[in-house]
Structure 1
């Protein structure tokens, strides 16, 4: 009996560890931009990323998004093959509002509060509308490509949340804590600290990641709805 219990614990640990690895693999995919934007491109263009011209910036985003998309697809397919979790199938078959897994009023209230907090903090951080500020600073062409880039970034963040949440739930049998948001806070937050060179930027992103993870739980793990919510919270 004791042996069976230990075997179950070991199996649960390894299963959770596998999902944690998937989450870290997605974080590694995000890290491609560091290699591309801070090593390869400066070598090719003889200038830093902040000095890129219009087409160099567009190439940067196109290559980054292509690598991110392919990397995410490989991780998702690996996950389906080895664990049976079919995220692509989930996205195709799920609806935005699942009648069988209906979101309660109190969950919507918390989701709306989270959205308001994110929008207000962004407004304060940018001294106004982030979208309008980036449109005026980038211009129409760069603005479009930058926001496509944001859509890919949100996708990767959501994958980290999903894999992180699944991993920790396997370990602790607790589905009330936004473990996925904690993993995003530790990984994505660290990435922003390194790329922006600002501890505050890292902490700000980490807090945002925790809120995003909470939104995923409050939406009852609805991948489609979570993606839309994260886009609103992060992009706007």
Structure 2
């Protein structure tokens, strides 16, 4: 009884939301761990993966990311009293228009970086295309969670909303790690896209359902 009272009286602060945001970011690292372990299990180097091996990699990654996303949604709701699924305010017409403009900028940037329309440039066969894009949808879920928790962290810390704290947090984590792992050009692109995703989240009134759909579409395209 006393333990429940103490838990109820515990003040949820910025550090708690920071922890959630860092957990979401850490979720991306599950694929790194998988990349180190799976080749030994499959008996083939990652650089020598066949289509079947790559699909196995994508499938397991989706399970890991999906499990992490569900875990964080439940954790934030029950331990930190932050039910992300109840962020369902209806965006106004201006918000939708701005989100559309930012989305078009993001897709244009991707098209320039890929030197063509990304889905077309990536396409090799139907199976690979399906598995890879499902993989992107799960990655988009972690991107959204990192933004949502990062946004809540920024608002709790600075006591001011309206700024894309979540996008900034994603840029300083997911974006910067791309610079370390894939070089300045790819990292700079990821950093820029992170800020745009964060802006979309804000423009759509932090409605996670709408924001996920838009961010996922932009991420795929």
Task: Normalising by structure 2, report the TM-score.
Answer: 0.89
Partner Cα separation in structure 2 for residue 70 and residue 59 of structure 1: 16
Equivalence for 2:29: 31
Equivalence for 2:16: 18
Equivalence for 2:107: 119
Whether the 8 Å CA contact 2:91–2:207 is kept in 1: the answer is: no
Structure 2, unmatched stretches of 5+, are: 1-9
- Are the structure 2 counterparts of residues 212 and 40 from structure 1 closer, same or farther at C-alpha, using a change threshold of 3 Å? same
Equivalence for 2:154: 168
Equivalence for 2:163: 177
Task: Normalising by structure 1, report the TM-score.
Answer: 0.83
- Are the structure 2 counterparts of residues 50 and 114 from structure 1 closer, same or farther at C-alpha, using a change threshold of 3 Å? farther
Equivalence for 2:191: 206
Partner Cα separation in structure 1 for residue 64 and residue 46 of structure 2: 18
- Are the structure 2 counterparts of residues 48 and 174 from structure 1 closer, same or farther at C-alpha, using a change threshold of 3 Å? farther
Partner Cα separation in structure 1 for residue 100 and residue 32 of structure 2: 33
Structure 1, unmatched stretches of 5+, are: 1-10
Q: For residues 190-225 of structure 1, give each alpha carbon's deviation from its aligned partner in whole angstroms, at most 9, with x where no partner exists.
A: 332344x21221111011001100110010111111
Q: In structure 2, which of residues 116, 132, 143 is the aligned counterpart of residue 128 of structure 1?
A: 116
Matches within 5 A, 1:84-123: 84-88=81-85, 90=86, 94=88, 101-105=90-94, 107-123=95-111
What secondary structure sits across from 2:110 in the alignment? helix
- Are the structure 2 counterparts of residues 55 and 165 from structure 1 closer, same or farther at C-alpha, using a change threshold of 3 Å? same
Partner Cα separation in structure 1 for residue 47 and residue 99 of structure 2: 35
Q: How many residues align?
A: 212
Note the aligned Cα RMSD (angstroms). 1.8
